[in-house]
Amino acid sequence: MNITMKTAAFVAALTLAPLAALAQDAPAPAPTSWFPGTLTGNIALTNDYIFRGVTQSNHNAAVQGGLDWDAGAGLHFGTWASAVNFNDGNGATEELDLYGGYAGKIDNFNYDVGGIYYWYPGSPTAFHYDYWEVYGKAGYDFGVAALGLGVNYTPENFGKTGDATYFSSTISVPVIPELSLSVGADYYLLTRGIKDYYTDWNLGATFHIPTWFDVDARYYNTDAHYLGRLADDRFVVNIKRTF
């Protein structure tokens, strides 16, 4: 805190001057907060909400957003929500994800393990939409490119369709500080359904406008042709602001 003092005499000013100089050189005390860790938020708009290669918004636009809390010591927790449209008249219009995990970094190697709960408020209990997963992912930054690998597992998948495992991989290449190109290839191992597996992939670019937002433009496709238009190839643009 800076305090302005009016001196009454020249001698007093000379006496206080050296002390004022020392006060200016001393480091300011670190700010403190009643809330531990770091809290960040994000909001986004997309022309199609794609999850594992399949539209969750019936190819319509969706508003999305979330909150993330870095609690320190590697622990992190968060929530994320999006509009959904399964076009089945069951009343589910939104998805709310709750997650937490432990993450760390060793030089250029990073890792994260945790769990996610997918909740669909308003959907009838008989549809069994809600489910949970455990996940693990790791990555390495080579400088010219970054590689990421991950696996998600659930003992009871969406719609009570048995256990499922999702394997994911990404490669990201920085072009300039504000622009990166990336490609992803994934494999979904399912217990029940018309097919017991499918693959999905994507290719796109992310442009970062400092202090404003990120724009991601991406092409998605799958070999899950048995899902019809729900898994058609499509071009998706996502505009996201983090605060």
What's the confidence (pLDDT) of residue 23? Answer: 35
Stretch 83-107: mean pLDDT: 93
Least confident of 28-37, 142-151, 201-210: 28-37
Start-to-end Cα distance in the chain: 28
Stretch 102-122: mean pLDDT: 97
Stretch 73-77: mean pLDDT: 97
Residue 134's alpha-carbon distances to 7, 105, 118, in angstroms, are 67, 20, 11
Class of domain 35-242: mainly beta
Tens of pLDDT, residue by residue over 213-231, are 999 999 999 999 999 999 9
Residue 35: pLDDT band (50, 70, 90) is: confident
Least confident of 15-24, 93-102, 165-174: 15-24
Full-model pTM: 0.85
Least confident of 31-45, 62-76, 82-96: 31-45
Burial 210-243 (b: 16+ CB within 10 A, else e): eeebbebebebebebeebeebbbebebebbbeee
| 55, containing H or E segment | strand 54-55
Higher confidence at residue 9 or residue 109? 109
What's the confidence (pLDDT) of residue 22? Answer: 29
Stretch 74-80: mean pLDDT: 98
Residue 194: pLDDT band (50, 70, 90) is: low
